[in-house]
Structure 1
Amino acid sequence: HLTVFSVLLFLPSGLLAASPVEAPRPLLPPQVGPRLKLPAALGKPVPSSVQDLGAIERHVQSLLPRLSAATVGIRAGRAQGSGVIVSPDGYVLTAGHVSATAGRDVQVTFPDGKRVKARTLGAFHTADAGLIKITEKRKEPWPFIPVADMRDVKVGDWCLALGHPGGFQPGRPPVVRLGRVIRITRYTLQTDAVLVGGDSGGPVFDMHGRVLGINSRIGRPTTSNYHVTVSSFLDNWTDLVRGRVWGSRGPSQAVMGINGEDHPRGCKVTGVPENYPAAKAGIQVGDIITQFDGKPVRTFRDLVLLVSQKQPGDKVVVEILRNNQKIKVTVQLARR
């Protein structure tokens, strides 16, 4: 159990100037940012003194000007959300349910109230990952934040969640909440940073000042807050930039046909309905699925996401553990 404190921090707005120039559209994913030398207090399970709290506060304050400048409000029709710019030419990460579909004209608002035109690109709805591109012409690069290397992230790490709770409000910069990482998979990050409506699509940062993920599901208690990891974007960057919209927040079109639960070594199979692909391939209750189509499976959610990226009829190799023995089976996915 982690003892956690939360703080609300407000940062004065900066000034952003715009001038015409055509921004390039590279397919290269956002750059990974460097690690910083962190205060010793951030390595402790909990702050143990007033000095520790002061060290954490000073470090957070040192990051905020840069993080806040790249955290934007998004208005798509009547819907409002948040996002973060991750490239100098204006690619914006947000939640899939904020961007919704490709080709929509949206409005991006900076902390100082400046509004620019943008357009939605692709969305991976199963992971709730959406991409937007600022289309306004500008001479200078847009303020942006590099992404994190998710291999650096571990449970217990401190993090910062930014967004526009209740929607963008003139004169109020992005609100900052401090929290901890309490669970992580390849595509899902769970934290106890307090979020409310309007924060959807906003960024969560590590203490190195890099984007860890995007605010997705907001609920109660505070431990019910989920974020889309940057891996969801990086693994699918080309498709997102090209405007592909796929996956579903509901059941995917392709089906494998198992019931499962999280297991320390992968996804444990708890049920195999008859006449479904998994049963036909010989998968059994008690098997632990560790890989799907060559990609690691660490949780049941991982498996759901991987299946959602496939089409009915696709044949995939599934690696399982059965009685501590590795077995590979080929499963032909069916239509739901």
Structure 2
Amino acid sequence: MDTLADLLDGVRARGAVFTRTVMSPQWSLRFASGAQLTLVVALDGRVWITPSGSEPIEVGSGDIAVLRGPDPYTVSEDLASPPRQVITSADYCARTARAVAGGGPAADPRTCGAGEAGSALLISGAYEGRSGISDRLLDALPDLLVVPERDSDRALLTLVAQELRRDKPGQQAVLDRLLDLLLVSTLRAWFDRPQNHAPAWYRATDDSVVASALRLMHDHPAHPWTVATLAAKVGSSRSGLARRFTRHVGEPPMTYLATWRVALAADLLRDTDATVNSIARRVGYSNAFALSVAFKRCRGITPTQHRAAALRTRELNT
């Protein structure tokens, strides 16, 4: 059972905003693209990343930072330097474009900061729009996580840096897949560090009975599961499965199933135009009312309110 693979299976970068930024001394940038997830790497020098409403974190050369959106954040060389530029999804390299339009030298592909000597080289890749990122995965992540260089895949970072400067047929597809690979590699490295207290579903593969039960619920969420039917399928007693599942996952089987169904419904409400009633049946509830009761119990809002909030977020970031 590989829950992380399940959660990442639908994540696909499409037209990912992937850039390298060359910055001069005392630089500071405010990123406000509204992306669900952003990866930031300082290839040269150390930087400070300050999420909205959180304390700044220093990121060393070669470290990989992952920021959970859609709130803006600041990346700077010095905390005392106010942001000199606000970067949105439609305005990643405006200063470079203006310099080239005015007769300045053309930058390498996907490079911001034309004509600058540069004291720092920053690489950023953002997941924007409908990229299939599960709410259950986002809920397991802090606003900002950092994987140090010693735990990151340096060869992959080198490949990303090389591909960013190329402009060949199919280049965007290459960059999209590289961003996906970099995200998976980084999250795996972060979850594997004991001090990060990975969610129980990430560690649950230690018990084959629990792993089999999880696989059944993930593969067939709409099945009318009970603890008894799950136990029969995995070759365990009802009480034995309940005890082992709770110990490894941190909650009883039926509680986990309810939150998993609601998480699937939340993704479908955000990423499709399907009716609430059809989504309810798809994830294991008899009708829209039953889903609404479970959804409000888990998330404090109704499915309709969740869909409306997701729509407002998309409109604000387009």
Structure 1 and Structure 2 fold alike (TM over 0.5): no
State the TM-score, normalized to the length of structure 1.
Answer: 0.28
Greater helix proportion: 2
Higher relative contact order (CA 8 A, sep 6+): 2
Greater strand proportion: 1
